Amino acid sequence: MEKDAPVIYGLEFQARALSAQTAEQEAVRFLVGTQSLKFSNNQVHLVELNEETGNLKTQIFQHPIGEIWSIQASPTEAEKFITCYNTLTDEGTCQMKGALWKIPSSQDINDIIPLEKLADIDTTPYGNDLKTITYHPTDSKKAVSVVDNNFVLWDLSFKPQAVTVGTLASKGQPRFTNGKWNPHSTTNQFVTLNENNVRGWDFRDPKEPVWTIINAHSQIIRDLDFNSNRQYYLATCGDDGYMKFWDIRNPTEPVMSKIEHSHWVWSIRINRFHDQLVLTSSSDSRVILCSAASISSEPFGHMVSMEEGASMEETCTKEKLEDGVIGKYEEHEDSVYAVEWSSADPWTFASLSYDGRLVLNKVPRKYKYQILL
């Protein structure tokens, strides 16, 4: 069979928060957070794919304090995660807040179980417009919150404590739209998005950005992702419909720029194991899988030993994966706000649309074999 059938899971409520269970290396698992307008109804779903049968096993947990806008799994402790959620204050107004949670050890998968709340992450001293709280790539005791025009490094060892604060100071009261750790640079660097600009900051001296990409897109940038295998390469996407790839050593022009969607692009993810593979999701209800092989860490494919007298040129030509679209996925009927690669299987990915539809797909076997063989 050339193409694996998608596996679809429907949630009762609307949703836009998705995370692979990063610390789980054996099973394909994803966390999904809901956005019910009745705050007490919100849930976190833990969805596991049985790769042999294609069946799903799910557990549902109560998140009764608000609608989830962001969910981040711990990089080292599979049972822990962070949510950013919208909730009602005592004054009756809405407020974005953050919290650290633990999945309870109960084995009863038939009931909706309450989550164990470990701690609040109080970002309110730094602003009201909390966008995300993202874990350090390898250290579950560190996280960064992005709120208003501040990014705050937190120590989560005991009660969450703010350690370092960086601020974007400029005219017009700018606000960050997103942010992510740079997995390179000894993980001292954090990258922020505001409007159509990208900035890299060093926590050792966060007063000024260490590099900047001004006007990276013509409209608001929604997401970014780093190439884990190439130190200076990152990808961005935004409301102009483009995905762009950058070398931060030369930020004046993208090294590659493509427009494959017909509306805003909300999420972009580079495969951590095979960085030729790039996923995007959009308000056009589609997920697109592209090859960016020419700027990957393996531009000529996976180098295999030459046999039967084949030359290096022949081997490279035979294995080369061309740039371009290699998969279009149209199982969604609403805006697809999030897409994530599995941390356990490099060929499996999940996408989530606002109507609560989670779809699990696989890289087409043709391209999988082209990369591996």
pLDDT tens per residue, range 43-83:
999 999 998 888 999 999 999 999 999 999 999 999 999 99
Positive or negative: CA dihedral 298, 290, 355, 345: negative
| Residue 303 covered by a domain | no
| Residue 311 covered by a domain | no
pLDDT surpassing 90 at residue 311? no
Q: How many domains, in total, are found in the chain? A: 1
Q: How many CB atoms lie within 10 A of CB 171?
A: 5
| Residue 238 covered by a domain | yes
The CA–CA distances, whole Å, from 333 to 105, 255, 330 equal 35, 33, 8
Asked if 162 contacts 131 with a C-beta cutoff of 8 angstroms, the reply is no
Which residue segment(s) compose the domain that 209 sits in? 7-296+319-372
Tokens matching residue 235: 């990808």
| Residue 188 covered by a domain | yes
| Residue 305 covered by a domain | no
CA-closest candidate to residue 134, choices 193, 216, 175, 92? 193
Q: What is the CATH number of the domain that holds 358?
A: 2.130.10.10
Least confident of 256-265, 300-309, 315-324: 300-309
pLDDT per position as a tens digit, 314-328: 444 445 788 999 999
